[in-house]
Every structure is written in C-alpha cells, then in structure tokens.
Structure 1
Amino acid sequence: MIRKVNISSGGEVEVFGNPAPLGLLGLAISCAALVPVAFGNNAFTPEGAINPAPFATAAVFALLFGGICQLISGIMNFANRNAFGGTIFTAFAFNWFITAGTFIAVAKGWPVDHATVLATEIILFVAFIFLTYGFGFFSSTLFLFLLDIDLLYVCKIAKGFTHNPVIAAWLMKGIGVFTLLLGLIGLWLALAGLLNPVCGRPLFRIGGPLFKPSTRPAFDFGIRRAIFEYLYYHWKSSGFGEVSIEQLKAELAQKLPSAAATEVIPEILYLWEYGCLKLTLVNGDDPGKGAEVESLRLTSGGIDLYEQLILRKYEG
C-alpha cells in the first residue's frame, strides 16, 4: 500500500480555517457603527444633552461584532497555535467590550471615569506601537492597519489631556476619520482573506512584508536530492538494476563539484537506514565495522518518496 507522506509537523496542522476574516469583518462593522457618534451625528440633542439612542445602538454592534466576533477569532487563532493572532484578536475583543460598556454607560447617564479611560488608552497606545512593528513582518497593509490605530489613539489621548473645546472638537473629527479608515482597511483585509483563496488570485492585494526576520541557514538538500534524482531516472530506464558507487560518485561530481566522497557516503547510509535505498556491501554487512558500499538502487519506498516530495504526484 502506498503511504502518503505528510511533511508538516503535527504542530503546524490548523484545527480551524483562517479565523482572521471573521475578526476583521466584525471590526469593520463595529467601526461603521461608531463613525456617526465620532462625527457627532445625532449624538446630542439641540439643547446639548446626550442623545442616548446612537450610543446604545453603537454599543450593541460593538458588543456583538467587535467583541464577540473578535473573541471567537482569537480563540480559533490560539487553537491553530497562532499566539500572535490569538493575542491580538482576544485583546481587541475585550477592548471592544469596554467600548460597548462605556457607550451603554453614556446612554444610561452613568458616570464614566475619564482618568481611568485615559490611563488605559496610554498603555494600549504603547502596546500598539510595538505591535505595529510586528505587523510589518506580515504585510504593508497590516502595518498601515496598525498605524491607523496608533494615530487614532494619539487623537484620543490628546483629547483626554486638552481642555480647549475647539481643539477637542477637531480631535474628535480626527477620531472619526481614523475610525472610518480603520473600518475600511479591516474590510479590505477581511475580503482579501475570504476571496483571494477562492478566486485563486490577489483580488484584494495586501502587499508583502515591510521587514524581514533574521533567518538561520537553510538545510542543504543538494547532495541528497542529486542521489535521488540520478537513481530515480536510472530506475526509469533500467528497472531495479543497481548502480556502482563509483558511477554514482562520478555523476555527482559533475553536478555537485563540492560533493566529496566523505559527504556522499553518510547521505547514502542515512537513506539506506530510512528504507529508501537497497545497498550491496562488501567486506561485511555492517558499514560501522568496515563494510563498504559496492552498488545501490532505490527501493519502492524511495521511489514513492521521491515522486511525492519532488514530483508532487498527489497534487492536482
């Protein structure tokens, strides 16, 4: 029976599909609900008193789409072993719960301690600065997404410190603009996550990463792949006839000039132990006790492994 090879580790297998579009779509809808309040549309009565209806309505959207959608998305990210995404969405969810609660308090006429709110906004702003840098390792659009949040919090913090009503009014407009932009970018990212895989092309482009992490040197499969390749095409032309070790070394020397005998033999013995090669040995049957490789060929398992990993025979 042919065994299909899974080359990914168990920790990389996702339990759920991509949960990010759910959280981002919830964020976009929540931002849309906040925009009228941020711009002061119907937020106050002609007498200057607070109109509870816009705040109460926005609170419902913030609770359901902002809080619950992003909480579900965060939990799903954690289940998929994505600590970065899980932390972001879960923290955002609780921030939306606070926003919903604050709006309900305003609608009900309950007091809200602005000093406490301002202190938490400062801490969140500091966190968002570092997260903006982190998002730059994913894509330029995600970096812009977090940068918009940074600017939104700059306006909120500045408004918390100012006592000038004119400046506060302009800062409130800035909050409205950045909230609107945040919703639009979130919607773009959500649609990219949903439709790009379906369309098979980047219908909604999100750009490449702005920063690149430091990478460790990649494992060199050159010699191992060359052994497989030569023996595979030998099998295609000559069946299960064996190839002498000298013939294999000569072939590898042409393809890989750096492939010395000291590098080839360990690779051959590894593939033999793995079950990919059949060896004919001389001077004994244990390479660890002086036996030498005289000739070799691929086993059926080695042929199947090469066809799966290199020729991708199970991929349509």
Structure 2
Amino acid sequence: MDQKLANPAPLGLMGFGMTTILLNMHNAGFFEINAVILSMGVFYGGIAQIIAGMMEFKKGNTFATTAFTSYGLFWLTLVALIYMNGRFGIPENTVSFVGVYLLLWGVFTLFMWVGTLKSPKAMQFVFLSLTILFFMLAARDVFGWTGTFATITGIEGMICGASAIYFAMAQVLNETYGREMLPVG
C-alpha cells in the first residue's frame, strides 16, 4: 500500500527563513544578539530543519536531506559558537576565524546552488542569495568590514530569509488549493 508523505520542505524553509531574518536584523544593526535569535536558531532554524531533512530522507530526496540537515546543524553550531565564545575556559574566537567558518558555508552553499539549477526559480533565488550572504558575512568578519557594509549584508540576509518564507508558503498554498496561488518559476 502506497502511503502519501507530506512535503517537509515548507517546514525546513520556514525554519530557515524566519531565523535568517531575525539574525540578519541583528547583522544590519537593528537589534543586539539576544535570546529571541538564539532560541530560534536552536529550535526552528536548527531542530526543525533537521527534522525536515530526516523527513526528506524518508522520501529519498538527497538534495533536500543534505540541505535541511546541514543548515539545521549550521544553526546549532552558530548558536554554540556565540554561546561558548569566551565561556568554559574556551578562548574567544577571533572574528576572522569565524569568517573562515562562514566562508566554508559559502563554498558549500555555492555547490548546493548549482544543484538547484534544474529547480524552480524561487528555489534558485533562495540558494543564490544565501551564497551571496555567506560570502558577504565572511568578508565582513575576515576583513573587518563594518558600518554600511554590515548593514547592507544584514539587509541582503533579510531578503534571503524572506525568499525562503515565500517559497515555503508558495508550496503550502499551491498544494492546499490545488493550483498556483503563488508562482515559483
């Protein structure tokens, strides 16, 4: 008997999108890093995406399994880096080394973006804007680019997060109504 499985992608995309917007509101200079951002990073950005990745595994979707699980673990490691920095006798990370961490995520995301080139344009935009975001964040931290560059980086991150929310809601609404309510290209 075939069992229809729900589409877990909107869960993962919403976890990614909402958390990305919150963190980049901080990156743009609108808010200090706080418990709201860190809690979203652990639970919705981290755990929810890992769950979505495991659900995609059950569906046999290697790309989505890799993406959601990896980015869920990104959020957990990022929160751990922020929390552990200078605590428990662990020396503070230099900003430039965090930039290397972000650069590695940018390289990973660039390859993932290549994997979207046969996918809907909305999905391509999410991964392209995330690639750009990681490289901008890495440049900010490696070269110490603050001020206007940091603000622009945060705004780009909010656009990236909003694109993931759009793609998630397009999938939910299009499936719910059985027709294209929100175009995905």
TM-score, normalising length: structure 2: 0.88
**Structure 1 residue 105: Cα displacement:** 3.7
Within the alignment, does 1:32 sit opposite 2:32 as a pair? no
CA contact 1:63–1:96 (8 Å) conserved in 2: yes
**Aligned twin of 1:146:** 127
Equivalent-residue separation in structure 1 for 2:135 and 2:46 (angstroms): 22
Distance 1:77 1:159, change over 3 A: same
Q: Percent identity?
A: 22
**Structure 1 residue 62: Cα displacement:** 0.8
Equivalent-residue separation in structure 2 for 1:107 and 1:24 (angstroms): 32
Equivalent-residue separation in structure 2 for 1:159 and 1:196 (angstroms): 38
Count of residues in Structure 1 that have an aligned counterpart in Structure 2: 183
**Aligned twin of 1:17:** 6
Equivalent-residue separation in structure 2 for 1:190 and 1:14 (angstroms): 23
Higher strand share: 1
Within the alignment, does 1:75 sit opposite 2:64 as a pair? no
Higher helix share: 2
Which of structures 1 and 2 has the larger relative contact order (alpha carbons within 8 angstroms, sep 6+)? Answer: 2
Distance 1:16 1:117, change over 3 A: farther
Distance 1:98 1:132, change over 3 A: same
**Structure 1 residue 197: Cα displacement:** 1.2
Distance 1:155 1:195, change over 3 A: same
**Aligned twin of 2:79:** 100
TM-score, normalising length: structure 1: 0.53
Distance 1:72 1:107, change over 3 A: farther
Q: Deviations over 1:260-314 (max 9, x none)?
A: xxxxxxxxxxxxxxxxxxxxxxxxxxxxxxxxxxxxxxxxxxxxxxxxxxxxxxx
Q: Which runs of 4+ in 1 moved over 4 A?
A: 106-110
**Aligned twin of 2:165:** 187
**Structure 1 residue 77: Cα displacement:** 0.5
Q: Deviations over 1:90-122 (max 9, x none)?
A: 001100101222333469797234344222222
Q: Runs of 5+ in structure 2 lacking a partner?
A: none
Give the alignment of 1:267-278 within 5 angstroms: none
Within the alignment, does 1:175 sit opposite 2:156 as a pair? no
**Structure 1 residue 170: Cα displacement:** 2.3
Q: Runs of 5+ in structure 1 lacking a partner?
A: 1-5, 7-12, 44-53, 208-316
Distance 1:21 1:134, change over 3 A: same
